Amino acid sequence: MEVLDVPEPPPPRPGEVIVRPDAVGICGSDFHFFTGELQIFEESPYPRIQGHEFTGTIEQLGPETSGRLGVGDRVSILPISSCGECYPCRVGRGNVCDNFSLIGIHSDGGLQEKLRVPESQVFSISTDEPAIAALAEPFSIGVRTIHRARVADGERVVILGAGPIGQAAHLLSRARGGTTLLVDRLQSRLDLGAATGAEGLLWENRDQVVEACREWSGGEGPPLVIDATGVPDPIRAAVDMVASAGRVTVVGMSGEEVPLRIGTFTEKEVDMLGVSCCGPDEFEEAIGFVEDNQSLLEPLITRRFALERAPEALAYAMGNPAEVMKVVITSN
Residues 240, 221: Cα–Cα separation, whole Å: 9
Distance CA 278, CA 139 (A): 10
The string of pLDDT tens digits covering residues 32-84 is: 889 887 767 777 888 999 999 999 999 999 999 999 999 999 999 999 999 99
pTM of the model: 0.94
CA atoms lying within 13 Å on the CB side of residue 31: 14
For residue 171, is pLDDT > 90? Answer: yes
Phi–psi pair at 286, nearest 5 degrees: -65, -40
The band of 15, judged by pLDDT with boundaries at 50, 70 and 90, is: very high
Residue with the bigger pLDDT between 179 and 29: it is: 179
Sign of CA dihedral 249, 253, 255, 258: negative
Neighbours of 67 (CB within 10 A): 7
Rounded Cα distance, 45 and 55, in Å: 23
